[in-house]
Amino acid sequence: MHKPASAKRGFTLIELLTVIAILAILGAIIFPTVGQFRTLAKKTSDSNDLRNIVQASQLFAAQYGERLVGTTEQLAVDGDNLYPNPDANANDLADVAAVLAFGGELEDPKAWVSANETVPSKGGLYTFSGGNVTVNYEPDDFSFSYVTGLRTSASSNTPVAFTRQSGASGQWVDGDPYGADGGHVAFMGGNVSWYTTLTNNLISPDGAAVDTIEAAIPQTDTEIREAGTPTGGAGATDSD
């Protein structure tokens, strides 16, 4: 005796709606978390790059009288030789990067660009050919600013490099790599910290709590070389 074949049973509307609701809840939980991990990974990459800038500066200083890149220092040519000239007329951040590529072995332009911004395709930081040296980048190509004129004898709490700040009084704002969320500061001692604000978070040469990079560096013989806002861009390309 044969039993009648049972008809295949499909999903009911309620079951389908339940599955869809569960998937929507999981998506609402997972997607923001993925975004947070991506942003954390970018911040970690930036922290490493800033630490490399400090290390390159210290390597440079070890070869050139315990001083970091000077306030007017540029690459110069003497016959067939290239050298950092501390007595040039002036410099900008691109000159600083070129000097550290030569004297601090920091040759990758990516070291100067946040993971949250786009690295321009311009080749190396400088070109030395036919007895001439050419700096290939502009300050607007970079994400990290730099303090020139420092010496290694400065306090370990002295800022050396930091995430570009476009706001008044040293504030991070829209147009900076992470917008108004904050940025990194890399110090002479080699540590790199993330700040949402600098208010009372930095230390001046005389030990007082201060609010800006300018107040936290020696007031004589130092100048900040600023990174500029990328051309045609508003800073963060993927803020998640």
Domain-embedded: residue 30: no
The structural domain count of the chain equals 1
Domain-embedded: residue 143: yes
Residue 126 phi, psi (nearest 5): -150, 160
Domain-embedded: residue 35: no
| Whether residue 35 has pLDDT greater than 90 | no
Domain-embedded: residue 193: yes
Task: Note the pTM of the prediction, 2 decimals.
Answer: 0.83
Domain-embedded: residue 7: no
Mean pLDDT of 164-181: 92
pLDDT band at 22 (very low <50, low <70, confident <90, very high): confident
pLDDT tens column, 70-123: 999 999 999 889 999 999 999 999 999 999 999 999 999 999 999 999 999 999
Domain-embedded: residue 6: no
pLDDT at position 17, please?
A: 81
Give the closest residue to 140 by CA, choosing from 239, 43, 42, 234. 234
Domain-embedded: residue 232: no
pLDDT at position 37, please?
A: 77
Place of tokens 């000159």: 95
Domain of 145? 42-225
pLDDT band at 14 (very low <50, low <70, confident <90, very high): confident
| Whether residue 6 has pLDDT greater than 70 | no
How many H helices and E strands in the chain?
A: 3, 11
83 contacts: CB under 8 Å, gap ≥ 6:
75, 76, 77
Q: What does the DSSP assignment read for 32-79?
A: HHHHHHHHHHHHHHHHHHHHHHHHHHHHHHHHTTTB-S-TT-EEEEET
Higher pLDDT, 130 or 142: 142
pLDDT at position 233, please?
A: 39
Mean pLDDT of 230-235: 44
Domain-embedded: residue 215: yes
Residue 75 and residue 88: Cα distance in Å, rounded? Answer: 9
Mean pLDDT of 168-192: 94
User: In the predicted model, what is the mean pLDDT of the chain?
Assistant: 89
